[in-house]
Structures are given as C-alpha cells and as structure tokens.
Amino acid sequence: MRKLLNTIYVTDESAYLSLDNDNFICKIADKERLRIPFDNIENIVCFNYVGCSPALMGKCVEKMIPINFVSPHGKFWAKVCGETKGNVFLRISQIDKFRLNGINLTQNTLAAKISNSIKLIKRSLHDNPNLRSDKDIADVLKILYAGVEKIFNTQTSDEILGIEGFCARNYFSIFGKLITNQKVTFEFNYRTKRPPLDPINAVLSFIYTLYTSEFSSSLETVGLDSYIGFCHTLRSGRNSLSCDLVEEVRAVAERFVLTLFNLQILSEKDFDVQISGAVFLNGDGRKKVITRWQEKKRTDLKHPYLQQKIQFGLLPYVQSNLLAKYIRGEIEEYPPFLIQ
C-alpha cells in the first residue's frame, strides 16, 4: 500500500520557497521558517503571492512532486508537475473507455454521490433526534432516493446531470439544518460558489479545491490524464477527471465542514467579508481548516471495495488506482466510493 507522506500547505502570502540540496526551504522576510527533506513530501499547495525559485520547481518536477498554486481565497490557479507517468497506451485506453462507457461511469459516479448525501443526512438524523421529525429533511430524502433510481433509467449525460442538479439543489436547501449547534450564528440557505456569500459556502469551496488538487495529483501518479474526464465537460485548463472523482466523495468533505461548525472550530473572526458581499477564509481561518484537514487525512476508514483499512488521505490514490485498473481491463467495472 502506498505510504501517506506530507502535504505542505504554504499559507503565509509573503512566503518564498526555495531549494537547498535535497531540502525544501520556506522563508518569510528572509528568515528560514521550515526545512524538510524532499523524501518526506508528496504534494505542495501554495497560497502565497511571492512564489518559488526555478531550482525548487525543477527539483519538484524531477521528484514528481506537484506544486499547486491557489489564491488566498481558495481559487485554483495553476499546477507545476513532472513528466507524465505511465505510457501513452494507457491514455489512449482512457479516452476509448470514456467514449464507450461514459454514460455508465457517469451514472455510477453520480448515483454514488447522491447515495453518499443520503448517508450524510441519515447520520445527522442518527446523531440529532430533533431532526427526525423535520418534514423538509424527510421530503429531501425522498427526492434523493428517487434521484438514484431515475439516474439508472436515463439514456444521455444531459438527463443524468439534470437529475443530479435537481437533487443537489434540494440537498443544499436543508444543509444548513444539519448545523445543529445553537451557538453557531452563521446561516446557510443555498449553495453559492463564485463567490461564496457566507462562511459555510466559503469553507465548502475551500475544501472542494483542496480535495480536487489531491485527486489531480493521484491521477497523474497512476498514469491517467486528469484533464480528460467522462462526466464534466472537457474544458481547456480544467482537471475534468479530478472533478468527476471528487463528486463521489463530496459528502465526506461536507461532513467534515459540518463538524468544523458544529464543534465551533471556526468563528466570525476567521472570515473576511468583501464589499461585494463575498466571504472568504482569512489567514487564521485557513490555518485552522488545513490543520484539521491534515488530521482527518491520517484517520482510518474501511474501504468498501478493498474491504481493508486505509488512511483517509490515501482515498484519492486508491480511487485513481481502481479507475486505472478498470481502464486497463483488470477489473470489469470501476467501483465508486460508497460511505458505509
């Protein structure tokens, strides 16, 4: 099993990254704040404006360590990565499989996404008896159950995406009710993305960005092209396949966000509100979320397909590897991740 190494998150906007022999160096105001051997790093995520040295980027390319550049507000900008791993025949098989079986893959992936949303809601009902009599939640559960069934009776991707979109709107219409701590003053009425208009949406978008970058790195590691997907429309510069695989694990990220707010780990002082109404995590807020996310990645879960325990942080790699096995013909069907 692959070993989970360190993801380095550079959250200080004035940090400069450089190279010293086989060591990653982070400096702030010309003072060294971090030194770590490259052998202990698997991914770098930068929220800084100053950037990094060409020598460091060259070393990361050599070591196959991706550097992800993300705005301080959580918007993905660009990625530096090494030579594509794997061979051209796997990439050709990827395109052929997606063209031939794209509908089936889309059905299974989005049905898994909706099923995992159901599991998240039912977990909240189990933990909070007061929610069990909520009619709105009960109605949304019926819509989601029906959505899973309808997806497998569709013929086109547009129909599948239409059903998924309808289910997502209804799911997020009651998402705010799952924040049950009465001391939390934040409100969530519906999903807003560009930009997020409340703290809960801000954290959701932030975690989705981190998770998508982790899937991109894992896909490249197993030799797949993260830009060629089967569900999301192909678009220059977008990691469509990463976005596809993130769909099935969104509920895991959403559960994590609910926990942050229900445990009051985040407060009003962790967010900045723009004149436009946009709401973003500030520096302290990002550090809190990233710290908890790193802790989450080192917890164990039982993978439903492998039937063995893995670290949560290895889930993107495991799903990417299973997809590669499906494309190579080693397994008959790609198994999306399902929450148990």
Domain boundaries, the chain: 6-80, 88-328
User: What pLDDT does residue 1 have?
Assistant: 46
| Residue predicted with more confidence, 9 or 27 | 27
For residue 201, pLDDT over 80 is answered with: yes
For residue 49, pLDDT over 50 is answered with: yes
pLDDT in tens, 91-142: 888 888 888 888 899 999 999 999 999 999 999 998 888 888 889 999 999 9
Same fold, 6-80 and 88-328: no
Mean pLDDT of the chain: 85
Helices (H), 128-249: 135-151, 157-173, 199-221, 240-247
pLDDT in tens, 138-183: 999 999 999 999 999 888 888 998 999 999 999 999 998 998 888 8
For residue 14, pLDDT over 80 is answered with: no
For residue 219, pLDDT over 80 is answered with: yes
| Residue predicted with more confidence, 86 or 23 | 23
**How far apart, in Å, do the first and last CA atoms of the chain sit?**
21
Q: How far is CA 197 from the centre of its chain?
A: 20
User: What pLDDT does residue 200 have?
Assistant: 93
pLDDT band at 329 (very low <50, low <70, confident <90, very high): confident
* pTM of the model as a whole: 0.81
User: What pLDDT does residue 85 have?
Assistant: 56
CA dihedral for 80, 278, 232, 329, sign (positive or negative): positive
Cross-strand bridge partners of residue 68: 45, 79
State in words which class domain 88-328 has: mainly alpha
State in words which class domain 6-80 has: alpha beta
